[in-house]
Structure 1
Amino acid sequence: MQLIEQITAYAAQYPTRNALVGLRGLETGGSTKVNSNSDLSYAQLFGALDALASGLQRQGIEVLGLFADNGPEWLLVDLACQQAGVTLVPLPGFFSAQQLEHTIRASGMQALLTDDCERFTPLEPVGEALGELAGLTLIEIPQATRVALPAETAKVTFTSGSTGTPRGVCLANETQYATAAALAQALVELGCARHLCLLPLATLLENVAGAYTCWLLGGTVIAPSLEKLGFHGSSQLDPAQLCRCIDECQPDSLILLPQILKLLVAQVRLGQWQAPPSLRFVAVGGGKVSPELLRQARTLGLPVFEGYGLSECGSVVALNLPGADCPGAAGRPLPHCEIRVCDGEVQVRGPRYLGYLGDSGVGSDMDGDWLATGDLGAIDKDGFLHITGRKKNLLISAFGRNISPEWVESEILLTPMLLQCVVIGDARPHCCALVFPLPGTEDAQVDRWIQAINERLPDYAQIRNWARLPAPLSFDDGLLTANGRPRRDAISHRYAESIETLYGESHAVL
């Protein structure tokens, strides 16, 4: 059963059951930012999305942009677009003005909904406000040019590319539903009835694996503002505020990125937080997770399970589960897809994307029905998928040894005193690392930690020398991708001269 049909059925069967909950934002500087403080039952959710879908159809909108904070409004617009047959283009909050202008033109959107008009009024393609829908301002794009999107494109979601312009992935509703249905099938026995949306809703992982899956299970989706969750800007997070929000919401399930899991583990180890007993399942994905971090999290009361997916496949394709778990692996394939490893590269067959924004169709990453992911991996005898790194990131040492930098970085970043790490060593006799420590960390502390990690690594992957980064890597300076992964070529170019010194010194400050 498709998502809208399932919500309709629940509205008839359980009309008073909570479907969508919003929370009031934090008071800062004497002002309060309100996302929504109203709970919507399934009957109310059905009525609200039906009314909003009719409003979109009356406006004659075919492609709609959405730039808004997390909250019920965001999810209502998403659902209403599906019901009205409108293509939705979620705009991530980290986009620059140049990226916003490019996306507005490239997608052919005729209008956009936003809670932040100031971000758009200076942009050349943007016109006047047409009014309000779902509590958001509807802005006209007067010179919109019709774009030939792939047939059945329901959503254009953005994934990190190798350049400063993330790629728009065109998805059908059916592909998103297939992922959510497979996850609901896998999680039904856990009884997860309350899901807290912790990641930005413009992230496909959160709206498909989080909200959609919860609704297919008849549960309650909790959608606080990002400020309420402790997020500030595109990359700052207050872990204490995040923990307070989790305690207030008492969710059954969460989805985390590895760096957020690391912060939560640190809060527990410092005695500043304890995971609520309501938590039954915490999924972590979006990057390599150290098995040791997973073990630490579980020992401290966080029921964490690693998964793996990609936007081109509608999000999650493999997941560890209670009773089917292998720490360090990405899990077994979900029932809606197949996974194989060909020449060391992970390939997936099943529901997939329709093409990229601006492209004529699915590109050269397809081998028949199989999608080449660009990820390196292996499948063990028990059917668990192990991701070892990115194909394009593979380091080949001067002695011919293949080294996945993500593997070594995940080990080094186990300590809370190191916030960022980039391993280098392609065509070099050994590996070195660029690190950004927690302020106040002394060189001797970093030395001791790296020596301890080296004892767990084979000699060809050990870190012989390291250097401090002068400032944290960020998306804004072009050194991180949209989802926080290092842009290795850009980093190597930026710090080329200093990297050369690493191969003659024990450590350095760049």
Structure 2
Amino acid sequence: MQPELQHLHDALTRHASERPQQIALWGDSVQIDYQSLLADVQQRQALLREQGVEVFALAMDNGPEAVLWDLAGLFAGIACVILPPFFSPAQRAHCLQQSGVSLVLADAGMGAELEALGYRRDQQFWRATRPVHGLALPAGTAKITYTSGTTGAPKGVCLSAAALLRVVRELEQASRSSAPQHYLAVLPLAVLLENLGLYAALLAGATLSVPSQRQLGISGATGVDWPRLFGMMAARQTQSMILVPQLLLGLVVAVERGAFPAAGLRFVAVGGARVSADLLARAAKVGLPVFEGYGLSECASVVCLNRPEANRPGTVGRPLPHVQVRLGDDGEVLVKGTTLLGYLGEPAFTGQWWPTGDIGAFDADGYLQLRGRKKHQFVTSFGRNVNPDWVEAELTQRAGIAQAFVYGEGMSQNVALLWPRDPACSDALLQAAVDEANAGLPDYARVHHWLRLAEPFTPDNGLLTANGRQRREAILARYREQLCPSLSSSVSA
């Protein structure tokens, strides 16, 4: 067994001996103690090995079963794809086909979707009824994590167990001084950051609460029933969790209004998208122990993290010990360490330094500050990557829309600027075109609000290049106030 895998296995064995009756996994109603955890994993590990597959997929909501099967695949050396619930059916189909998945473990609600793709129920598994010819996996792939939809066809990032579990070890070390004993998984397990967060909780011997997203009050990529979420946090006496900025905002507002106490929380990590300095200041003022970090799937998630002993709000923290971080000549953040094996279907990554596409700077004490992105892609406040070119193409392919500009950096809802093909076109027809485009998009990429332009983008007004490409920075500068409404207005606790 690889050293990092052995380290996790030894920790779980030790917890089973030292705290056999302590709850390890707590779902909606099911509880599994540490004494039973490894036996349950090993049983599923044997079942997976009997299937003779190189890769399998999990299409399950958060819960103990999803965690047990995920761990079983990890220890069995079988690559695992966890299908994001916030992907569209077409995107999930792409993931299954590209990764060559012939075996799926899925919730009952996924049955119709899987049947339409040619899978049939066989006891606890769904099996492909015809050969699935996926792309070749890089040697040593333990997990294929799909980016959250930067285009209509997400890329599969192939990662080794050693890379994943080295990050897990550093995450557990980073929160150790806070000694959280009850971790709540808030994000879907398909989000790599959450996947590693639950490993870290088990490594630490904490109780891991993994209620379903429905029980948490979370739906899709952006829907949150705040009272339900806070009720679950209180009922489980949550001490630690990972949040994206929009969820942190909701928590801060709730604490400010006296709707939720900050006292029980010991370590709240926040990442996945830019966090405003004002929000971090508000969190600190009400006593929330919030620590911002930074990472990306291609580097097995977390690269930098603020910690109780080394916390500088306004930065994403210092690099963790398992990586080296430096800046390119243009300020791009470059990472060496736990990098991907390669993208599925592309040549293996053989370099040393991974170009992140983010621009940053170090302060005098080695804390990293992020200053923006090199490309057009933006990240919503729920941590979802969106390539606006993709959404704009969907919009301008509709009959009524000639030009579209989509924006959502750090926002809970995406906004579009629209220019109609016919200036006399009614707003109702434009809305119908937006609705038609949204119907084919996953919810995190949809246009939630739009504004009608008074004039089109042209080279003469400086908003198009001579060859017809949008000058995105110029458009954003001119329309920033219309595109960026107050984030706090979208949350009610």
Q: Distance in 2 between matches of 1:296 and 1:250?
A: 22
1:62-113 deviation digits (Å, cap 9, x = unpaired): 2111111111111111000012221111111122222222221111112101
For residues 340 and 409 of structure 2, the distance between their equivalents in structure 1, rounded to whole angstroms, comes to 36
Among candidates 135, 145, 167, match of residue 155 of structure 2: 167
Partner of 2:254: 267
- From 1, 6, 12, the equivalent of 1:7 is 12
Amino acid corresponding to residue 276 of structure 2 in structure 1: S
Q: What's the counterpart of residue 419 of structure 1?
A: none
Instruction: Verify the 8 A CA contact 1:53 1:83 in the aligned structure 2.
Output: yes
CA-to-partner distance for each residue in 1:243-288, whole Å, 9 max, x for gaps?
111101112111000011111222223333333x221010000111
3-state DSSP of counterpart to 1:154: strand
1:201 is paired with a residue of what secondary structure?
Answer: coil
Deviation at 1:438, TM superposition (A): 11
- Give the structure 2 partner of residue 361 of structure 1: 348
Residue 142 of structure 1 corresponds to 130
Aligned position for 1:49: 41
CA separation of 1:290 and 1:234: change in aligned 2, threshold 3 A: closer
Contact 2:19 2:34 in 1 (8 A): yes
Cα offset, 1:13, TM superposition: 3.2
Q: 2:142 aligns with which of 154, 158, 171?
A: 154
Paired with 1:153 and 1:297, the residues of 2 have a C-alpha distance of 39
Match of 1:477 in 2: 438
Query: Aligned match of 2:292 in 289, 306, 312?
Result: 306
Higher relative CO (Cα under 8 Å, sequence separation at least 6) belongs to: 2
The aligned residue for residue 16 of structure 1 is 21
Summarize the Cα distance change of 1:379–1:40 in structure 2 as closer, same or farther, 3 Å threshold.
same
Residue 247 of structure 1 aligns with which residue? 234
Confirm whether residue 387 of structure 1 aligns to residue 380 of structure 2.
no
* Displacement of 1:160: 3.4
Deviation at 1:141, TM superposition (A): 4.8
| CA drift at 1:123 | 2.4
Matched, 1:203 2:208: no
> For residue 353 of structure 2, what is the aligned residue in structure 1?
370
RMSD (Å), alpha carbons? 3.6
How many Å separate the matches in 2 of 1:309 and 1:128?
38
Distance (Å, rounded) in 1 between the aligned partners of 2:64 and 2:354: 34
Partner of 2:335: helix, strand, or coil?
Answer: strand
Determine the structure 2 residue equivalent to 1:335.
321
**Structure 1, unpaired ranges of 5+:** 24-36, 395-404, 414-421, 423-431, 440-468
Render the CA deviation track for 1:162-201: whole Å, top value 9, x for unaligned: 4222211001111110000111122222111211000001
Whole-Å Cα distance in 1 between the matches of residues 407 and 119 of structure 2?
Answer: 48
Instruction: Name the CA distance, whole Å, in 2 between partners of 1:186 and 1:281.
Output: 10
Q: Closer, same or farther in 2 for the Cα pair 1:300/1:249, shift >3 Å?
A: same
Alpha-carbon spacing, 1:117–1:13, altered in 2? closer, same or farther (3 Å): same
Secondary structure, in 3 states, of the residue corresponding to 2:357? strand
Aligned to 1:129: 121
- In the superposition, relative to structure 1, how do residues 155 and 475 fare at CA in structure 2: closer, same or farther (>3 Å)? farther
Deviates more, 1:352-361 or 1:286-295: 352-361
One-letter identity of the residue aligned with 2:71:
L
- Please list, as runs of the form range in 1=range in 2, the aligned pairs for 1:64-83 lying within 5 A after superposition: 64-83=56-75
TM superposition score normalised by structure 1? 0.74
Determine the C-alpha separation between the residues in 1 that align with 2:179 and 2:436: 38
Q: 1:186 to 1:248 in 2, by over 3 A?
A: same
**Quick one: distance in 2 between partners of 1:475 and 1:12?**
57
The structure 2 residue matched to 1:96, chosen from 73, 88, 97, is 88
Change (3 A) 1:271 1:146: closer
Question: How far apart are 1:433 and its partner, in Å?
Answer: 8.5
Q: How many residues align?
A: 420
How far off its partner does 1:302 sit?
1.6
Change (3 A) 1:339 1:470: farther
Counterparts of 2:446 and 2:293, CA distance in 1: 20
Which of 53, 61, 64 lines up with 2:53 in the alignment? 61
Q: 1:442 is matched with which residue?
A: none
AA in 1 matched with 2:362:
I
The aligned amino acid for 2:45 is A
Per-residue displacement from partner, 1:407-430 (whole Å, max 9, x unpaired)?
xx99xx9xxxxxxxx9xxxxxxxx
Q: Supply the distance in 2 between the matched residues of 1:62 and 1:438 (Cα, whole angstroms).
A: 38
Residue pair 1:114, 1:138 contacting (<8 A) in 2 also: yes
Q: Which residue of 2 aligns with 1:278?
A: 264
Question: 143-152 or 302-311, which moves further after superposition?
Answer: 143-152
Structure 2 counterpart of 1:167, which letter? K
* Cα shift readout 1:120-161 (whole Å, capped 9, x = no counterpart): 24423x2321111xxxx5343532225420001111001135
Decide whether aligned partners of structure 1 residues 101 and 486 sit closer, same or farther in structure 2, where only a CA change above 3 A counts.
Answer: closer
**Residue of structure 1 aligned with 2:283, choices 270, 290, 297:** 297
Work out the CA distance in 1 between the residues paired with 2:27 and 2:277. Answer: 34
Question: What is the alpha-carbon distance in structure 1 between the residues aligned to residue 256 and residue 481 of structure 2?
Answer: 29
Q: State how far apart, in whole Å, the 1-side matches of 2:13 and 2:152 are.
A: 41
Q: Give 1:17 deviation, angstroms.
A: 2.2
Q: So what's the TM-score if we normalise by structure 2?
A: 0.77
Shift of 1:339: 0.8
1: distance between equivalents of 2:410 and 2:456? Answer: 15
User: Structure 2 counterpart of 1:99, which letter?
Assistant: Q
SS in 2 for 1:246: helix
Q: Letter of the aligned partner of 1:197 in structure 2?
A: A
The 3 A distance-change label for structure 1 pair 435 and 146 is closer
User: What whole-Å deviation, never above 9, does each CA across 1:486-510 have from its counterpart, x for those lacking one?
Assistant: 99xxx99x9777675999999879x
The question of whether the paired residues in 2 share the 8 Å contact of 1:339 and 1:347 is answered with yes
SS in 2 for 1:128: strand
Q: CA deviation digits over 1:308-350, x for unaligned, max 9?
A: 0111111111001113111110000111111111121001110
Deviation at 1:232, TM superposition (A): 2.2
In the TM superposition, what are the counterparts of 1:422-461 in structure 2 within 5 Å? Answer: none
**Is the aligned partner of 1:120 residue 2:107?**
no
Query: SS at the partner of 1:297?
Result: helix
> Which ranges of 4 or more aligned residues in structure 1 deviate by more than 4 Å?
432-439, 473-476, 478-482, 484-487, 494-509
Give the superposition deviation at 1:218.
1.4
Q: What is the one-letter code of the residue matched to 1:78? A: D
1-side partners of 2:371 and 2:31: how far apart? 43
Deviation, structure 1 residue 118: 3.2
Sort the Cα spacing of 1:74 and 1:292 in 2 relative to 1 into closer, same or farther, 3 A: same
